């Protein structure tokens, strides 16, 4: 069309190239994105993929974020709730294949990597930077209801397509969720969640002079 050159002055091919996230080319990766790019590989085709399908995990989410798909990596436990990539440590003992995926903050920036063991259901973080999984969903539009769904474990969260959140560190997460309307599927879990996220009362100090005057 005559107007095409005016609407897209650089041409469609050049425009498409300009819109590509440079991280797909290995440019501008942060440490977490670089680790996923180097040590993980796509879930589809891996022997764990049929097991994920049987659990009802299909990884249908298509957010368009870099490295957002579920992947597989060989990992080593490195402490309570933490892991290392086996390809980085070189350790073979206690190595197992885990489902790994990026952890985002509320702005959608990658701040950590999570690893989930299908056999035990254990969930671990690479850097320990996140207090919850799914923090990017706090500000996302909610279609089913106006509350934020809190899942009890990784399996439930992954089955739900990684919508809602999982609380990893209640002491830190309680401040982030203080003004949110939280939704759960189980009454007992809801009570435990309420207690875990209860804000501590403020500390109140009495000035020495006022204390003597009151006496």
Distances 43 to 47, 70, 96, 144, 196 between C-alpha atoms, Å: 8, 6, 15, 29, 34
Q: Write the CB contacts of 12 (distance below 8 Å, at least 6 apart in sequence).
A: none
Strands 148-149 and 182-183: parallel
DSSP H or E run through 71: strand 71-79
Yes or no: say if 134 and 164 are a contact pair by the CB < 8 Å rule. yes
Yes or no: say if 102 and 133 are a contact pair by the CB < 8 Å rule. no
**Per residue in 147-158, pLDDT tens?**
999 999 999 999
Q: Give the number of other Cβ atoms within 10 Å of residue 147's Cβ.
A: 13
**pTM score of the predicted model:** 0.78
**Per residue in 45-90, pLDDT tens?**
788 888 998 999 976 554 556 567 888 999 999 999 999 999 999 9
**Cα dihedral value 104, 110, 115, 118, nearest 10:** 50
pLDDT on residue 123: 96
Q: Quick one: which of 147, 160, 188 has its CA closest to 56?
A: 160
Percent over 70 (pLDDT), the chain = 79
Yes or no: say if 74 and 95 are a contact pair by the CB < 8 Å rule. yes
Q: Write the CB contacts of 59 (distance below 8 Å, at least 6 apart in sequence).
A: 43, 52, 69, 70
Yes or no: say if 110 and 103 are a contact pair by the CB < 8 Å rule. yes
Yes or no: say if 118 and 99 are a contact pair by the CB < 8 Å rule. yes
pLDDT on residue 1: 30
Q: How confident is the model at residue 139 (pLDDT cuts 50, 70, 90)?
A: confident
**Per residue in 23-43, pLDDT tens?**
556 667 889 988 988 888 877
């Amino acid at each position: 069309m005559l107007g095409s050159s005016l609407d897209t002055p650089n041409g469609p091919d050049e425009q498409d190239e300009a819109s590509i996230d440079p991280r797909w080319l290995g440019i501008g990766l942060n440490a977490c994105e670089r680790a996923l790019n180097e040590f993980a590989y796509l879930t589809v085709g891996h022997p764990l993929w049929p097991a994920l399908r049987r659990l009802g995990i299909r990884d249908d989410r298509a957010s368009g974020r870099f490295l957002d798909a579920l992947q597989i990596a060989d990992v080593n436990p490195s402490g309570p709730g933490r892991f290392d990539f086996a390809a980085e440590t070189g350790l073979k003992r206690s190595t197992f294949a885990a489902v790994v995926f990026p952890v985002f903050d509320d702005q959608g920036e990658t701040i950590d990597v999570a690893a989930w063991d299908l056999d035990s259901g254990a969930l671990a973080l690479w850097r320990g930077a996140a207090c919850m999984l799914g923090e990017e969903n706090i500000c996302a539009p909610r279609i089913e209801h106006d509350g934020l769904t809190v899942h009890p474990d990784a399996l439930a969260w992954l089955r739900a397509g990684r919508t809602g959140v999982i609380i990893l560190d209640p002491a830190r997460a309680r401040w982030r969720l203080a003004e949110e309307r939280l939704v759960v599927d189980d009454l007992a879990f809801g009570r435990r969640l309420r207690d875990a996220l209860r804000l501590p009362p403020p500390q109140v100090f009495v000035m020495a002079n006022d204390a003597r005057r009151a006496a």
